[in-house]
Amino acid sequence: MDAMDRALEIFTNLKMEQTEFRNAVLLYIALKDRQLAVYGDKGIHEKVGVEFWNIAVKKILAHFNKDDYAGGIANCVTEIGESLQQHFPYVKETDKNELPDEIIFGK
């Protein structure tokens, strides 16, 4: 299965498209199959565009090619977080955590 198709399938199964601003992001990594995808929902995708996601994947792969998996993931998550902060700034009075924060490990 294509990594982006699998990422979208997981994204949908987790109901991540149900956030108020449609700004959820899924980082899909299948180490055994050597696959990777970054999927951003409609709200964030409209703000950052296709090139943002392409660059994110290139950067994480550069780390992975050096066997720096933790660094690649950390860098990717940080850059996505910065973009989310820029386009969807935190508002203490109204913000709520709509999705769980834990990492999900699958088969």
DSSP code per residue over 5-73: HHHHHHHHHTTGGGSTTS--EEEEEETTTTEEEEEE-HHHHHHHHHHHHHHHHHHHHHHHTTT-HHHHH
At 64-74, the pLDDT tens digits run: 999 999 999 99
CATH class of this structure's domain 3-87: alpha beta
At 47-56, the pLDDT tens digits run: 999 999 999 9
pTM: 0.92
- pLDDT interval class at 1 (50, 70, 90): confident
- pLDDT interval class at 107 (50, 70, 90): low
